[in-house]
Amino acid sequence: MRRSLLLLTTGAVASAWALPSTPSKRRPLTTRAAALRPPSADAPPNRQAVKLRAVAPGGGPSWKGVPVSVLAVIAAAFLNLLGFTMTGPITPALAEHFALPVGARVGMLTSAYPFGMLGGLMVWPRLSDKRGMRKPILVLSLGGVGLGLVAQSMALARNAPLWTFLGLRALSGAAAGASPVAKAYLADAATADQLPRWLAWREAASTFAFIVGPLFGGLLFHGTASLASVVGVTAAFSLLAAGIIAVFVEEVDTSKPAERKQPQLLSNEYSSCPLGASLIGAIATICAMSALENAGASTWDAFGAVLTRNRFGLDARGVGLMLTSLACVSFGVSTTLFDRVRRRFGLVRTAVLGLCLMATGLGCVGLATNSLTSFALAAALYQLGKPLYAPIVPTLLLQCVPPNKRGLAMGIDAAVNTVARCVAPLALGALLRARGAGVAFGSASALVFGAAGLALLRARNVAL
């Protein structure tokens, strides 16, 4: 098993380096005073000047050069995802509560929320593109999810039937939409050099939620033996996130001079796109790559904890400790390695490397049947690749669309990903039940390798 893992890892790294180098362009950070200095009357307006004026949102306060609004958005992302990750260790207990067999029916617990998100993603991100609407949409979305979680907690406490619980999860998902809007807000507030760094910080905050959440959720369920209590605490975190946005976030003025015409989302050219001048082709590539990765990753999210318990007999505390330990790997990569790798090798090669590591890890998870150590090593390889890839997709997409279409573009990407996360747990769950974990996780690995191949193909076509 370990020899196979080593060979697969070596192949993953080698395939990433087959891509022609596309190093990112470094630009010096601008001081806040320079960023807020108004342009001279005879200076022509340009995209860079507009970006620099947006470094401090609304001219608001900053902490060590980072706007407080940006820190608040990152903190809200942590709290919102903390609630989500707390439920990981209790997924087996939820399946037992509703007497669900392992397979597609367990996948329904994971698919119901993203199924509801499809409706919300058609509305919230696009509405946020209207001037002054990023903050209100973030508050409404996070608050709506929190209230939906309160309803789910009450349903569990009263032993409501499965379909009632799934309906409430779908309604909570319909309120969701904060993630693409938050990324669009960070793009509004960032310079070209700051954007990947801030998105990596957001990814690190999300990863930290995966460190704290599973352990906290597992301990809370072990101490209370109450599913309703765990879900109720997740609701409190989402409502707290909405409050932080309401108090600390200021809108970013992204208005442009009237004489400068913005490129349209479906126009044929946008010069800042790292994947070439064809805007439609670049956006389609990014969305397809993201959907394939999400389809593969949802297999781990839906069945990783269940597989751990069934194979190795871990209880909720043990599953939570394992998930927390794995998240520490991702957190270390996000905070110490991502920016160095991105600056050295560029956005596209970094994404390909991350995808290859993720795919290799997923394939090895399916093969690790007898040893918890081998299983943990395979899962760690998956967690090593994810933070190298995760900040890249929003960075590429946000650089490939005009500012007044960022919410819409992120919404389209999120909707495509949501479809993948709805369908994949059901399809791969049925495959897991019929053919076993090796085939199901092998299929997930193939999907993620497909995303890496798509990125390689697109980047080579642009380079030629």
- pLDDT of 220 reads 87
Least confident of 57-61, 94-98, 108-112: 57-61
User: At residue 283, does pLDDT exceed 60?
Assistant: yes
- pLDDT of 174 reads 84
Q: What is the pLDDT of residues 220-233, one digit of tens each?
A: 888 888 888 888 99
Q: How far apart are CA 241 and CA 142, in angstroms?
A: 7
Extents of the domains making up the chain:
8-21+66-250+269-463
User: At residue 462, does pLDDT exceed 50?
Assistant: no
Question: DSSP secondary structure string, 175-230?
Answer: H--HHHHHHHHHHHH--TTHHHHHHHHHHHHHHHHHHHHHHHHHHHHHHH--HHHH
Tokens (6 digits) for 304: 């990783």
Structural element, H or E, at residue 383? helix 372-389
Confidence (pTM)? 0.64
Percent of the chain exceeding pLDDT 90 equals 17
297 against 41, higher pLDDT: 297
- pLDDT of 40 reads 39
- pLDDT of 273 reads 60
Q: What is the pLDDT of residues 169-192, one digit of tens each?
A: 888 888 887 788 888 888 888 887
Q: What are phi and psi of 63, to 5 degrees?
A: -130, 115
Spelled out in words, what is the top-level CATH class assigned to the domain 8-21+66-250+269-463? mainly alpha
User: At residue 295, does pLDDT exceed 50?
Assistant: yes
Q: How far apart are CA 372 and CA 181, in angstroms?
A: 39
Mean of the pLDDT values across residues 250-266?
53
Q: At what angle do helices 104-121 and 162-175 cross, to 10 degrees?
A: 30
- pLDDT of 454 reads 87
Q: What is the pLDDT of residues 26-67, one digit of tens each?
A: 333 333 333 434 443 334 444 333 333 334 444 557 677 788
Q: How far apart are CA 189 and CA 266, in angstroms?
A: 24
Q: What are phi and psi of 272, to 5 degrees?
A: -85, 5
Mean of the pLDDT values across residues 370-389?
90
Measure CA 242 to chain center: 19
- pLDDT of 455 reads 82
- Residue 422 · residue 119 · CB < 8 Å: no
- pLDDT of 104 reads 53
- pLDDT of 3 reads 47
- Residue 363 banded pLDDT, cuts 50, 70, 90: very high
Mean of the pLDDT values across residues 351-368?
92
